[in-house]
Amino acid sequence: MSNYRVLFLDLDDTLYPSTCGLWQAISDRIIDFMTDRLDMSAIKADELRKEYFLAYGTTFNGLRIHHNVDPLDYLDFVHDVPIDIYIQPDPELNKMLMSVVAKRVIFTNASRDHAERVTRRLGIEKQIDQVIDIIALDYHNKPKPSAYSRALSLTGEKDPTTCLLVDDRSRNLIPGGAMGMTTVLVGEQETDPHVDFHINLITQLILTVPGLDHGALMDKT
């Protein structure tokens, strides 16, 4: 039996390689949004983007708080990128997620629409049980501790120790770990002593974390 009841999966740079260029394309769109909607130079926009990211965890919340940007306008604009150019279907990831017994939940600071486009392109949409996006979180984005409490509540789970949290940024894992979640860092960056597991690729998840999969499930699919 699985040791976990909920698997929280980050989206961007976690479910696909960070080297593919998709996140850079989104970052470029963020700069474009700021120069277009806020009438500032690209240099100023880049400075503010970094400042807001460090202060709030996302550029979006800095813009929402300080510039009163329309959330849907922002999310639609920055995620309007040709996803198919950057990522390809991933049958290995689909197979891995099929073997996971826990509830499989996308937990992202992005929008639901973006999450659904990415999971469809990867070919894993049927393996995702729930999407928790920035709107569902009422703008309480990672790494704010309140985001993790809200995400837990939205899954219907009460015990964080039954949850596995996967992300490509250790700063987004530490608050969940403090609540009692088991944490997994994805990517080739150096590991963090506050993180429980470190993998280079998301497809290594069930090979690294004990008690996540159930072999009998594969025989039924």
Domain region containing 32: 22-78
For residue 181, give the 3-state DSSP assignment.
coil
The pLDDT confidence band at residue 2, using thresholds 50, 70 and 90, is low
Q: Per-residue pLDDT averaged across 172-176, rounded?
A: 97
pLDDT at 108 over 50: yes
Which pLDDT does position 189 carry in this prediction? 78
Our count of domains for the chain comes to: 2
pLDDT per position as a tens digit, 112-159: 999 999 999 999 999 999 999 999 999 999 999 999 999 999 999 999
Q: Which CATH number goes with the domain that contains 182? A: 3.40.50.1000
Q: Is the same domain home to 191 and 116?
A: yes
The pTM of the full predicted model, rounded to 2 decimals, is: 0.93
Which pLDDT does position 208 carry in this prediction? 95
pLDDT at 1 over 60: no
Q: Which CATH number goes with the domain that contains 68? A: 1.10.150.450
Q: HSE of 17 in the Cβ direction (CA atoms, 13 Å)? A: 10
Q: Is the same domain home to 47 and 151?
A: no
Q: Is the same domain home to 61 and 100?
A: no
Query: What φ, ψ does residue 155 adopt, rounded to 5°?
Result: -80, -15
Q: Per-residue pLDDT averaged across 65-78, rounded?
A: 96
Q: Is the same domain home to 188 and 164?
A: yes
Phi and psi based region of residue 190 (left: phi greater than 0; alpha: psi -120 to 50; beta: remaining): beta
Q: Is the same domain home to 121 and 73?
A: no
Q: Is the same domain home to 33 and 100?
A: no
Residue 207 forms part of a structural domain: yes
Which pLDDT does position 221 carry in this prediction? 36
Q: Is the same domain home to 65 and 133?
A: no
pLDDT at 214 over 90: no
Which pLDDT does position 218 carry in this prediction? 38
